[in-house]
Amino acid sequence: MDFRKDINGLRALAVLAVVIYHFNALWLPGGFAGVDVFFVISGYLMTAIICRSLSDSNFSLIRFYTARAKRIVPVLAVMCMALMVFGWFNLLATEYKQMAQHVYSSLGFYSNIVYLKEVGYFAASTDDNWLLHTWSLSVEWQFYIIYPVVLLVLSKLFGTRAIRWFVLAAVLIGFVYSLSLAPRYPEHAFYLLKARAWELCAGGLAFLFPVAMDKAKSRIVEWAGLALILSGYILISKTVVWPGYYALMPVIGTLMVIFANRQDSRLTGNCAFQRIGVYSYSIYIWHWPVMVYMTYSGLLNGYSSALAGIGISLILGYASYALIERKRLKSKVDARSLVWCGGFAGLMLLSIVVYRSDGINSDIRGESIVEKAEFVDSYAALHKSLGEAYWLKCNSYEVFSTTGVKYIDASCTQKEGPGGVFLWGDSHAEALSL
């Protein structure tokens, strides 16, 4: 497939928005929509790869999945390994256990489901979740598994021409479904493929329904598309229902740029955007752990530190591309591939062992960590021993989310006997309750 500078420039625009948003959301309130730009790009590229191979009668599922894994897994695995090493020396057992769970769910490409059960994307507590950003990779990989199979079956049953109408219907139905889901179950709409697939399929429309236009029209369409994307980055914020109607801004904007197909544009084809676009995947993978580390260490506390974090992310992205991505993309299947597969399997096994052993709360990880962990473990044990009296009765969040009722047990507010204390508050009050 021919290299497209406009798409590479869009990657730069997307990853910069995401990185800026994560280091300081005030600078770009809707920067998280950069992920949606990535979804549309992926949908376009995957549709082009699959449909061209189907038309030539040489499509192979194994070859398709191998190419995707070769593109995505190495950088992800190295980042996960780096975090496991960091966690061994720096995290409490409970923290290390959670990191291990997130590592194997990320490598297994179902971390979006794990995070759905844990916390919302925009919650403050996500700033210490080292692998939260892998939810989008999980969504994409789940799409990669299902999409080619569906298109292959359609081509066998109805011919390749039927694919375009199926994809169009999937976009329309998926968008309506997302609109209905987001207001009622915002976390489900954010994290799950069923609410995001329409964005990926929308990218396929740019390949299946090509539009021919002259240079003047293509320039106008490109500028309008970029303006729509940038307007979304500014006007959208975490307060809107997402992905809802506002998601049309990055989706349609990206489609317009792809339709315009301007390979000589100074907006997307400039040298800086082309370099950042090439490194975009690695930048995305490494920027979040940098942000979490700076937050964890109390270093992310102002404009200068945010700029430093962005700069470090760009540098790590370049290094990751040069040392991992570029070499893996150029390599052929050989003994080194077997080493990578073995390393991947070993990392999965390590993370599972760490999780099953409750974060390896042992002297082998350092006496200071064990001492801190003892306190945390005793707190957790006491917390757990409260059982129904606390979790299922007096914690309104747990009551509402677990049982679906809209009231807490009367025993939580009724006074019995002389004296006593009525405790009202958030998680800080929860800590005092023990």
Name residue, tokens 């801004």.
249
157-163 average pLDDT score: 91
Percent of the chain topping pLDDT 70: 84
- pLDDT at position 362, please? 75
Is residue 167 over pLDDT 70? yes
- pLDDT at position 334, please? 60
The Cα 284–Cα 317 span in angstroms is: 8
- pLDDT at position 208, please? 96
33-54 average pLDDT score: 97
224-228 average pLDDT score: 97
- pLDDT at position 366, please? 62
229-245 average pLDDT score: 93
- pLDDT at position 124, please? 46
Helix axes 193-208, 34-55, angle to 10 degrees: 60
Cis peptide, bond prior to residue 243, ω within 30 of zero:
yes
pTM of the predicted protein model: 0.86
> Tens digits of per-residue pLDDT, 123-139?
545 677 899 999 999 99
Is residue 393 over pLDDT 70? no
Q: Are 94 and 381 in contact (CB under 8 A)?
A: no
Q: Which stretch, 128-132, 376-380, 399-403, 415-419, has highest mean pLDDT?
A: 128-132
pLDDT mean across residues, the chain:
88
Name residue, tokens 């995401």.
18
Provide the 10 A C-beta neighbour count for residue 242: 22
Q: How far apart are the first and last CA of the chain?
A: 61
203-219 average pLDDT score: 94
The Cα 115–Cα 120 span in angstroms is: 7
- pLDDT at position 10, please? 97
- pLDDT at position 348, please? 95
Of the candidate ranges 1-5, 168-172, 307-311, the one whose mean pLDDT is the lowest: 1-5
Nearest Cα residue to 241 out of 180, 158, 200: 180
Q: Are 1 and 48 in contact (CB under 8 A)?
A: yes
The Cα 274–Cα 66 span in angstroms is: 26
The Cα 389–Cα 233 span in angstroms is: 45
Q: Are 44 and 206 in contact (CB under 8 A)?
A: yes
Cis peptide, bond prior to residue 210, ω within 30 of zero:
no
- Look at 407 and 87; give whichever has higher pLDDT: 87
72-95 average pLDDT score: 93
Cα angle value 313/315/318 (rounded, 5°): 110
> Tens digits of per-residue pLDDT, 311-370?
999 999 999 999 999 876 565 656 667 777 888 899 999 999 999 998 887 777 765 455
- Look at 385 and 132; give whichever has higher pLDDT: 132
- pLDDT at position 26, please? 94
- Phi-psi region for residue 420, left (φ > 0), alpha (ψ -120 to 50) or beta? left
